[in-house]
Amino acid sequence: MQAAKLEAVATPEGQTDQDWVKANLRFGASLPYNDLANCLRVIERHPDFKGRFKFNEMLSKVVDRGAVMVEWRINEIAAELQERFMPELPPETVGRALVIAANRGAK
């Protein structure tokens, strides 16, 4: 299976996603690792995601700007992360990273 090429999308600061990936993620060969650590880096550091996810103690769920992160929303975020940062990132990894980032953000 051939790995997808990262597409360059401009971030608010004018930096492309490809530049951001090179500066912030861990790599193996020519592509970033599709792992939990890199997924957390995107969710916690990238301006489009940083601080966006919170953990709702009452519901025991992650929320995104007040909307509960049900399965289809997690898959939607996973697809965006795959398109922009890590082509073969498993959606299950995104779900785990969202829970970790949301709990860290609650502190």
- Say how far apart CA 48 and CA 25 lie, in whole Å: 16
Which residues contact residue 27 at a Cβ distance below 8 angstroms, ignoring those fewer than 6 apart? Answer: 33
Q: What is the pTM of this model?
A: 0.83
- Say how far apart CA 47 and CA 11 lie, in whole Å: 8
pLDDT, one tens digit for every residue, the chain (107 residues): 334 444 445 555 678 999 999 999 999 988 899 999 999 999 999 999 999 999 999 999 999 988 999 999 999 999 999 999 999 999 999 999 999 999 997 65
Report residue 42 CA to chain centroid gap.
5
Token pair, residue 40, equals: 């957390």
Give whole-number Cα distances, 45 to 2, 59, 105, in Å: 28, 25, 12
- Residue 54 has what pLDDT? 95
Write out the H or E segment, with its range, that includes residue 42. Answer: helix 36-45
